[in-house]
Structure 1
Amino acid sequence: MDTNSFKELIKPFFWVEHENNVSVCLNVGEYKSEIFQLREDEGFEGNGYDWGSLAKIFLEEQKPELMEVVKFDPEAGMFCAYSSNTDALKTFIIAFKETCENETLIRDLFSRAELD
């Protein structure tokens, strides 16, 4: 898959290459905000930490083989995952984005996410 196709596939997430690792990020607030509203009364806001919780449960249940190589560094306004293994992070973000687009699956995963 060429770089442009990959970048289109993962939008609104975006890919960042660093000297020793790669990261994939999301400016939070618009994409899938309705998912987080489902548990707003529990304190979920759809911020970067909430996305991190959702991504963590996704990894645990859907891609456990990536748990040791994909790490998270969320902030209030941004979700960020990173790894020194480019292929692993690409595998993660492609699968995570596909899951985000599956309303039934993403809602099911989010039902088990823990507030950070």
Structure 2
Amino acid sequence: MDTDNFKKSIKPFFWVEHEKSVSVCLNVGEYKTEIFQTREEEGFEGNGYDWASLAKVFLEERKSELMEFIKFDSEADMFCAYSSNIDALKTFIVAFKEICENKVLIQDLFSRAELD
């Protein structure tokens, strides 16, 4: 997949290249907010930390072979995953975005996410 198609396929997540690593980020509050509303009474807000919790469950259960390569540096207003392994991060975000688009699967994974 060429770079332009890749970047389009992961929207609203966005890809950022650094000198020795890459990041994939999401400005929170603009995508899949309804997922987090299902557990609002437990304290989930849909912030960057909540997205990271969801992404960690996804990695553990669906892409555990990537866990050693993917790190998180989320903030309240932004989800951010990064890696020095470009291929690992690309594999992660393509698969994670696919899961995010499947309402049943994403709700199932989110049911096991823990507040950070």
| TM-score between both structures, scaled by the size of structure 1 | 0.99
Deviations 1:35-82 (A, max 9, x none): 000000000000000000000000000000000000101000000000
Paired residue total: 116
In the other structure, the counterpart of 2:31 is 31
3-state secondary structure, aligned to 2:19: coil
Counterpart amino acid of residue 52 in structure 1: A
Matching of residue 112 in structure 1 with residue 112 in structure 2: yes
List alignment gaps of at least 5 residues for structure 1. Answer: none
In the other structure, the counterpart of 2:58 is 58
State the distance in 1 between where 2:18 and 2:37 align: 34
3-state secondary structure, aligned to 2:41: helix
3-state secondary structure, aligned to 1:50: helix
Matching of residues 9-88 of structure 1 within 5 Å: 9-88=9-88
Instruction: Give me the identity figure in percent.
Output: 80
Q: Note the C-alpha offset of 1:30.
A: 1.6
| TM-score between both structures, scaled by the size of structure 2 | 0.99
List alignment gaps of at least 5 residues for structure 2. Answer: none
Question: Any runs of at least 4 consecutive aligned residues in structure 1 with deviations exceeding 3 A, and if so which?
Answer: none
